[in-house]
Amino acid sequence: MAKLKTPTLPSNPLTSPKRPGKAYGPSTPLEHGAEAGITAVDWIDERTSLSGGLRWMMFRKVPKGTNWFYTLGSATMFAFLSQAVTGVFLAMYYDPSATRAYESIQHINNDVFLGEFVHGMHKWGSSVMVILIFLHMGRTFFFGAYKYPRELNWVIGVALLVMTMTMSFSGYLLPFDQRSYWATIVGVNINGTGPLVGPYLSEFLRAGPYFGATTLSRFYAIHMLLVPGAIAALMGFHLYLVAKLGTTAPPWVRAKSPDALREQKVSDL
Amino acid sequence: MNKREKEAYLREYGVLKSQGKPFFPYAIAKDSVMAIMVMVVIITMSIVLGAELGPKADPTSTTYTPRPEWYFFFLFELLRVIKPPALVPLATIGVPTICLILLFLLPFYDRGAERRPERRPIATAAGIFTICAIGYLTYLGAAAGPPTEIDIPVPANVRSQGSAAVANFKSGEQVVAQSGCAACHKFGENGNAGPGPSLTRVGARLPAQAIQRTLINPTAPMPSFATLSEQSPKQFEQMVGFLAALK
Ligand code: HEM
């Protein structure tokens, strides 16, 4: 069968046009450095197309009137990141066994370089995160930010709140001192009084009918794998929706009427 | 919000947004300042307050106070406020569950178009009330303190049995005081009036056998003291004897 000839390739499809404004290419060392950076970024972008998403996230507009109350969400996220980083360092030394847990934390406090400092950051960071998440929730509540079209973001937010409280509850047992041990027993018992799922939930948390050696490793797995993973995933979705829908303007800020706008445009000319 | 209101909102929002500033660098700058403040606060708290450990967890020890982290105080206090035993499940899980469901579904039952707090009086009042209630319960929980002291006059019938009985009563009182029972029970002047019933007169209500059964196999949220009975039966006996003598 007759075959069509494949068209010839363009003479040199690979050289990109010169960047505007630079007729002779980079000349100073600084410009060479910049060129190298641009080339590397281009290489990645050619294969991932990430720059579009980044631009979409960073150069979206936030409405007029956005104030300091709008930083509470990202502050919560920052507290979470701090918890994640300090938590990783604690996990390097922590031993989730009923016989060794307490000693391993003592070891962190007494022997490890900056151990008590990082432990303290993790411990107090949890309080800071809880305060920030409540402030952020209060802000979105009083600003009516949960209304159309951001209902789903509110629902995700409540799920994040529940998981943050779960983190504090499960983390409280891990030092395995008297206070955390008995408070957790009472807490698990309280869960057990709940309707329907209550007894199953407390049995799941205890890993059996009694508080035992596996309880601690179960709490450890919940605290450092299960819930943080879920929080990170939901946080990503929360932020995606924030960028997609845009953040609200404060409820008392009003847009100028289109007529006033048109007049402003005309007078700006 | 009906279709027209939604449309109006989106239009208004579109205009406001187009008049706004780009997220980078304007909002990012504020966020970064805030992030630095958060970091400074956490670091300062860590340096000033440290990360002390209590004594090691010991299922048989009797010197504990069942105190959760402070931001759970309000849940624990809810137990105290709602006292009748029949309502305890309601307090422990019922009320929090209902509040949580209400919180989840908020955008679906509050569907008005109005967003200004002063023009949504019900929502704003409910929000302020919730904040005050949680704040008050947290304050109560913080003020309750960890009670480890019980001071009950020796009952006449114990005194009449001689000094050995009085000594037994006294050491039983000490075991109970150290066991943190007063965190949930009232003993005469001492202790908290909930979530557990007052034990000032348990002996009149329950025989020693029943008290023993309660301690080994209690109804939640009371913790079980079965390990104590296995590992230090003497202390356990003194505890039961003390409670049974409270008439
Ligand atoms: C891990 C916890 C959370 C993180 C990291 C987080 C993060 C954020 C961020 C960065 C924003 C952008 C605007 C702002 O900062 O105010 C935002 C918006 C929002 N958040 Fe959260 N949030 C969290 C929890 C919550 C909770 C508990 C709720 C409510 C129940 C919530 C509801 C909302 C709503 C409705 C918006 C949209 C606000 C608007 O457009 O003005 N979030 N969140």
Question: Residue A235 half-sphere exposure, CB side, CA atoms within 13 Å?
Answer: 20
Nearest to B180 among A123, A182, A198 (CB): A182
Q: For chain A, what is the mean pLDDT?
A: 88
Tell me the CA distances in angstroms from B116 to A4, A143, B124, B189, one per residue in order.
Answer: 69, 7, 9, 49
- How remote is the CA of residue B160 from the centroid of ligand 1, in Å? 68
The per-residue pLDDT for A5 is 86
* pLDDT digit string, tens, across residues B190-244: 777 767 888 888 888 888 899 889 888 888 778 888 877 887 788 888 888 888 8
d(CA A206, CA B224): 14
What is the average per-residue pLDDT within A246-262? 80
The mean-pLDDT minimum among A119-133, A215-229, B75-89 falls in: B75-89
- Cβ neighbours of B219 (radius 10 Å): 12
Closest residue (by CA) to atom 1 of ligand 1?
A160
What is the average per-residue pLDDT within B25-34? 95
Of A67, A78, A140, best ligand 1 pocket probe by most atoms within 8 Å of the beta carbon = A140
Residue among A78, A105, A131, A136 with most chain B CBs within 10 A, to mutate = A78
Quick one: closest CA in A to B224, which residue? A185
d(CA A210, CA A192): 12
What is the average per-residue pLDDT within A11-30? 71
**What is residue A20's DSSP assignment?**
T
Query: Inter-chain contact B72–A169, Cβ cutoff 8 Å?
Result: yes
> Are A203 and A209 in contact, with CB atoms under 8 Å apart?
yes
Q: At what angle do helices B163-178 and B233-245 cross, to 10 degrees?
A: 100
**DSSP states of B148-182:** -----PPPHHHHTT-HHHHHHHHHHHHHHHHTTGG
Per-residue pLDDT band at B90 (split at 50, 70, 90):
low
> Are B63 and B178 in contact, with CB atoms under 8 Å apart?
yes
**What is residue B56's DSSP assignment?**
B
> Are B181 and B243 in contact, with CB atoms under 8 Å apart?
no
Is pLDDT above 60 for B62?
no
**E strands within chain A?**
61-62
The per-residue pLDDT for A56 is 93
- How remote is the CA of residue A77 from the centroid of ligand 1, in Å? 9
Closest CA to B77 of B184, B179, B150: B184
Is pLDDT above 70 for A162?
yes
The per-residue pLDDT for B91 is 66
Domains of chain A: 70-245 (1.20.810.10)
pTM: 0.83
Who wins on pLDDT, B133 or A182?
B133
Per-residue pLDDT band at B124 (split at 50, 70, 90):
very high
- Cβ neighbours of A210 (radius 10 Å): 12
Closest CA to B200 of B181, B182, B187: B187
The per-residue pLDDT for B9 is 92
Domains of chain B: 1-52 (no CATH), 65-144 (1.10.287.980), 156-244 (1.10.760.10)
Q: For chain B, what is the mean pLDDT?
A: 83
Size of interface A-B (CB pairs under 8 A): 257
Query: Inter-chain contact A119–B51, Cβ cutoff 8 Å?
Result: yes
The interface predicted TM-score (ipTM) is 0.86
Place of tokens 């080994």: B216
* pLDDT digit string, tens, across residues A36-74: 999 999 999 999 999 999 999 999 999 988 999 999 999
Query: Inter-chain contact A57–B69, Cβ cutoff 8 Å?
Result: no
d(CA A245, CA A12): 43
